[in-house]
Amino acid sequence: MEPFLRGCITTLERGAPSLHVVLGNETCDLDSMVSAIAFAYFLSKTAVDQKAAFVPVLNIPRSEFPLRGECTFLLQQNSLSEDLLVFRDEIDLHGLHRDGRLVLTLVDHNVLPRGDSALEDLVMEVVDHRRLERPLTPGLAVTTEPVGSCATLVTERIILKAPDILDRQLADVLRSTILLDCINMAPEAGKVTPKDTEYVTTLESRFTDLLPRAVVFDSLQRAKFDVSGLTIEQMLRKDLKVLSGGDILLAISAVYLRLEELLARPGLKAGFEEFCRARGYSVLVVMTITFEQKSEPFRQLAVYSPHCNLRESVSRALEESETPLLQLTPLDSPDSEIVAYHQGNGQASRKKVLPVIVDFLKAQEAGRSDPAVVCWGWGTVSRVPRGQGEEEGEDVEETACDEEVYLPPTPMNSLVEGCPLDGGLPKLLQEAILERFDKMAVEGPVVDPSNH
């Protein structure tokens, strides 16, 4: 595969007359990365029409890649250099489109995000394991099946159409991806389907020296949560949500590390300070999660702000929270601007703590806590791209529930004052409704659009 990837780089440097880009989704998880690389490789070996050069593109900027621990780990394991990959910020897809030099195959997703909708007409083929959200059009080849991993569908295609191109390296990256996505093929995890198992078994029968499944799964899982190699800034933005209320921009970062370890990092305070300064956050809440064996998650929490009042009031809101009760006990902190706690209630995930923060921000905004207003304050929707972390414990919970949980409740007669039938049927003028929506939009804490 290395010569193929090297060839892609050369092609891009020289400027090919036309490109066939195989694009994974914007989370660039292991499935998207491996499916894009393997499928582009397959196409390059089998396509009848070789006019276009096949290039896999990872749909994130290169600077984001160190945050995908499982991806960097698998590449290392297979002696594939990151220099052989093409990232989204290294290729101008829209420019190529304008020049009429681009066609697309989508893997591990089937509709382009809004920012790329201009490229929709270029999609020739889709290979995906999610629900199909695009219309079937003439000339579009679609492979969809609700299997545990898109890599299973790519493996199937290779085994059926071009089994000879399968070498140990390709087999290893495909099988590793399926193992991670299907939670080591454990039926109780609810991810694996018979087809995933079938192709993992087929790969193993062709390459009998592949490492044991449990070893592969455990090391990928560990790599995914291993933040030890990251800078403080990378650690904080790996799993970040941002809320705003009034003039306060508050960041909540989930970090998969013991808080003691984080606090012992040299330059931690300077790192927090720079992170907040650069992004305009006035306060940062860090929630750490570690998993001890199979017991419940072990959680700790820290609040950082250079503003004494804000730090104290956020800390108080968390300490005094009753739903959920966090059971916070103070921990030693290396700096007076960082307040550290052990969180006794291991069940209170970030998703459950978010409403406490939302209430706090609402209260700040209104100068008092007004329950009638709080209902409208739920405009907080995760900026985590769809699908990210859908395979991991903590994130599954969070990303899966966020949009449901934080949708505003259906307004009860909120478009009219008093009893809705007091003066007969209310007149719902379009302007009045739009105005009301505008008002609702500015009332609630909203997600910082620059947080990505």
- Contact residues for Mn ion (CB under 5 A)? 31, 108, 150
Instruction: Tell me how far the alpha carbon of residue 233 is from its chain's centroid.
Output: 17
CA dihedral (150, 151, 156, 162) in degrees, to 10, reads 130
Instruction: Tell me how far the alpha carbon of residue 335 is from its chain's centroid.
Output: 31
CB of 207 to Mn ion, least distance (A): 23
Q: By CB neighbour count within 10 A (0-12 exposed, 13-18 middle, 19+ buried), where does 16 fall?
A: middle
Instruction: Please say which residue, 150 or 227, places its beta carbon nearer to Mn ion.
Output: 150
**239: β partners:** none
Instruction: Please say which residue, 198 or 390, places its beta carbon nearer to Mn ion.
Output: 390
CB of 109 to Mn ion, least distance (A): 8
CB of 391 to Mn ion, least distance (A): 8
CB of 33 to Mn ion, least distance (A): 10
Instruction: Please say which residue, 108 or 156, places its beta carbon nearer to Mn ion.
Output: 108
**386: β partners:** none
Q: How far apart are CA 443 and CA 292, in angstroms?
A: 41
CB of 94 to Mn ion, least distance (A): 25
CB of 388 to Mn ion, least distance (A): 11
Instruction: Please say which residue, 31 or 448, places its beta carbon nearer to Mn ion.
Output: 31
Instruction: Please say which residue, 150 or 356, places its beta carbon nearer to Mn ion.
Output: 150
CB of 452 to Mn ion, least distance (A): 20
Residue whose Cβ sits closest to Mn ion: 31
Sorted by sequence, the CB contacts under 8 Å of residue 154 that are 6+ apart come out as: 34, 35, 38, 39, 42, 107, 127, 174
Largest CA distance in the chain: 79
CB atoms inside a 10 Å sphere around CB 355? 18
Instruction: Please say which residue, 178 or 287, places its beta carbon nearer to Mn ion.
Output: 178
Q: Distances in Å between the alpha carbon of 265 and those of 268, 272, 318?
A: 5, 11, 24
Instruction: Please say which residue, 104 or 303, places its beta carbon nearer to Mn ion.
Output: 104
Yes or no: say if 291 and 254 are a contact pair by the CB < 8 Å rule: no
